[in-house]
């Protein structure tokens, strides 16, 4: 059931509008001034606001501006109810953030039609936003809405982790497509929840491979330790998911370029030597182990336990000392 906040100082109008809305099943809250509306909004978040323009004290224009300046309220659609129908006033209303005008006196049919239309548009907007945030981090989605052209940034301190499920390919020959997809979805959904809880950013999946980064798109001071903890939990998730499966993990830290590519299908991705090294650490690792670079070891050796792997050659790099991350220190 949709909740509507009516901001109106005239008792007759309050009774008329409230009656029209309640007869259609809407929940109605009432505020008799702009100041009271702002107070109500600290307790109740309506789906739509009907706002009178001419009120004593804070008028509707100022009230609208204050609502739109509050991050958690700015997306609530606002419809002005007013007898002020000059073009200048109508334009001002849209400029301060209203989505529509209903002129007094109004018919109940017109009011309901506009309310239904904007509630439907708001639902569509929120669903579109939800779908976009399934693809892009929220800060990047906001930048993308306000910027044209290529969106790219350099981040100097980012942890990058790659995983690959060992034993998944032969398992795919034994399970039905539905069973296989359900298994992979269960594993990756748990990965997603753990990563999000630590402020880490899932980048993508390719087949049974999973990639996640920490320290972007917003700075995250302890991202490397959070990534290390995540990697250990990932192993438990995979080993518990199906007998015979294990996880091979590679983890490195350094600078990356991150940005959005694509026009019809957006992808937030990362590039650079740090990414390549993390990928090669995974491919040169071992089942049920977290293979990390010397950089990771030096930064986390006081907080985690490691085993020396020795010097290995990774494609395109000089031989480097690597380690297996084994546990968090008590």
Same domain, 120 and 170: no
Same domain, 168 and 81: no
* CATH classification of the domain holding 281: 3.30.70.1230
Q: Which residues of 122-153 are buried (b: 16+ CB within 10 A; e: fewer)?
A: beeeeeeeeeeeeebbeebbeeeeeeeeebee
Same domain, 195 and 239: yes
Q: Per residue in 97-156, pLDDT tens?
A: 999 988 888 888 999 999 999 999 988 888 777 765 666 666 666 666 666 555 778 999
**143 in any annotated domain:** no
**26 in any annotated domain:** yes
* CATH classification of the domain holding 121: 3.40.50.2300
Same domain, 33 and 162: no
Helix (H/G/I), strand (E/B), else coil: 97: coil
Same domain, 201 and 93: no
Nearest to 164, CA basis, from 315, 276, 289, 273 = 289
Same domain, 100 and 156: no
Cα–Cα distance measured from residue 30 to residue 85, given in angstroms and rounded to the nearest whole number:
24
Helix (H/G/I), strand (E/B), else coil: 270: strand
Same domain, 123 and 250: no
Please report the pLDDT score of residue 220 as a whole number.
85
**140 in any annotated domain:** no
User: Which of 133, 160, 175 is at the close of a domain?
Assistant: 133
Same domain, 318 and 171: yes
Q: Which residues of 294-325 are buried (b: 16+ CB within 10 A; e: fewer)?
A: ebbbebbeeebebeebeeeebeeeeebebbbb
Please report the pLDDT score of residue 274 as a whole number.
95
Cα–Cα distance measured from residue 214 to residue 199, given in angstroms and rounded to the nearest whole number:
7
**138 in any annotated domain:** no
Please report the pLDDT score of residue 219 as a whole number.
83
Domain hosting residue 163, numbered range: 149-328
Please report the pLDDT score of residue 133 as a whole number.
61
Number of domains in the chain: 2
**139 in any annotated domain:** no
Same domain, 167 and 304: yes
Helix (H/G/I), strand (E/B), else coil: 33: coil
User: Which of 133, 162, 187 is at the close of a domain?
Assistant: 133
User: Which of 133, 164, 183 is at the close of a domain?
Assistant: 133
Cα–Cα distance measured from residue 263 to residue 272, given in angstroms and rounded to the nearest whole number:
22
**Average pLDDT per consecutive 10 residues, the chain (330 residues; last block may be shorter):** 92 92 93 94 94 90 94 92 81 90 86 92 80 64 60 90 93 90 94 94 92 91 96 94 92 93 75 94 94 96 95 81 94
**141 in any annotated domain:** no
Cα–Cα distance measured from residue 100 to residue 118, given in angstroms and rounded to the nearest whole number:
9
Please report the pLDDT score of residue 62 as a whole number.
94
Same domain, 105 and 169: no
Q: Are strands 27-31 and 3-7 parallel, antiparallel or unpaired?
A: parallel
Same domain, 196 and 298: yes
Cα–Cα distance measured from residue 214 to residue 307, given in angstroms and rounded to the nearest whole number:
23
- For residues 60 and 52, the answer to whether their CB atoms sit within 8 Å is yes
Please report the pLDDT score of residue 283 as a whole number.
93
**68 in any annotated domain:** yes
What would you report as the CA-atom Rg of the chain, rounded to the nearest whole angstrom? 27
Same domain, 127 and 64: yes
Please report the pLDDT score of residue 267 as a whole number.
77
């Amino acid at each position: 059931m949709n909740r509507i906040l009516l901001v109106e100082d005239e008792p007759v109008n309050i009774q008329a509008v409230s009656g029209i809305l309640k007869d259609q099943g809407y929940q109605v809250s009432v505020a008799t001034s702009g100041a009271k509306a702002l107070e109500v909004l600290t307790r109740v978040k309506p789906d739509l606001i009907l706002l009178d323009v001419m009120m004593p004290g804070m008028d509707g224009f100022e009230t609208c501006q204050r609502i739109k300046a509050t991050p958690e309220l700015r997306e609530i659609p606002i419809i002005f109810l007013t007898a002020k129908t000059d073009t200048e006033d109508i334009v001002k209303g849209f400029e301060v953030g209203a989505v529509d005008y209903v002129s007094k006196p109004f018919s109940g049919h017109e009011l309901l039609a506009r309310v239904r239309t904007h509630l439907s548009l708001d639902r569509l907007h929120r669903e579109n936003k939800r779908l976009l945030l399934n693809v892009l981090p929220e800060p990047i989605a906001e930048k993308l809405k306000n910027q044209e052209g290529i969106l790219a940034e350099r981040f100097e301190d980012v942890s990058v982790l790659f995983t690959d499920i060992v034993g998944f390919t032969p398992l795919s020959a034994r399970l039905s497509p539905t069973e296989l997809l359900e298994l992979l979805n269960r594993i990756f959904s748990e990965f997603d929840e753990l990563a999000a809880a630590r402020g880490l950013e899932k980048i993508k999946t390719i087949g049974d491979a999973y990639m996640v980064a920490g320290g972007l798109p917003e700075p995250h001071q302890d991202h490397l330790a959070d990534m290390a903890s995540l990697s250990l939990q990932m192993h438990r998730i995979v080993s518990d998911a199906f007998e015979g499966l294990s996880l091979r993990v590679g983890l490195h830290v350094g600078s990356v370029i991150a940005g959005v590519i694509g026009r019809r299908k957006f992808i937030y991705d990362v590039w650079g030597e740090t990414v390549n090294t993390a990928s090669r650490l995974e491919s040169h690792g071992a089942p049920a182990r977290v293979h990390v670079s010397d950089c990771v070891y030096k930064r986390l050796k006081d907080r985690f336990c490691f085993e020396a792997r020795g010097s290995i050659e990774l494609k395109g790099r000089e031989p480097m000392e690597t380690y297996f991350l084994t546990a968090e220190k008590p």
